[in-house]
Amino acid sequence: MSDEPNTSQSRRYGQEEIARNQLEPWPNPHPARDYLIHFEIPEFTCLCPRSGYPDFATIVIDYVPEGQVVELRSLKLYINGYRDRALSHEAAANGILDDLSRLLAPRWMRVVAEFNVRGNIKTTITAEHATSDYTGPRPVYRRPTFTGI
């Protein structure tokens, strides 16, 4: 293992991809239909703004698209970009919702951040966005189902 500092000259290709990444919208192939897109992201990490220790969470994103859907590789790299950011649980969940809502302008979106127990406290943050005229599906939240493969 190298003792080189983590500078732009010594970053690995994955770190470079994360640094360059921009969330990317793609055309919704069925914009006339209300349908649900569900993501479970079981390896989310960010840093505690007070201690600098890592916080781990599963992020669940549910949304009903309008004209755009998010490209999955750009979403993966975007989420990985949080790992070195010091921010609260609330800021993480609401930041993800704000960024995706701004990019996609979905009919409805919910982001749930289920953080692992830390200091004997489990934190779950739920943030939602909806257009004022949206009356379509808003499924009941269910805990993440991903168990690994």
Has 48 been annotated as catalytic?
Answer: yes
C-alpha distances (whole Å) from 39 to each of 28, 58, 60, 86, 109 are 16, 10, 6, 24, 11
CA angle 19, 65, 124 (to 5 degrees): 65
* Residue 19 region by backbone torsions, left for phi larger than 0, else alpha for psi between -120 and 50, else beta: alpha
Instruction: Answer yes or no: are the C-beta atoms of 89 and 115 closer than 8 Å.
Output: yes
CA distance 109 to 101: 7
C-alpha distances (whole Å) from 9 to each of 6, 12, 13, 80, 85 are 8, 9, 11, 20, 21
Token digits of residue 89 = 């649980």
Which residue is catalytic, options 3, 34, 46, 55?
55
Has 133 been annotated as catalytic?
Answer: no
Which residue is catalytic, options 3, 34, 46, 48?
48
**Would you please indicate which residues are annotated as catalytic (active-site) residues?**
48, 55
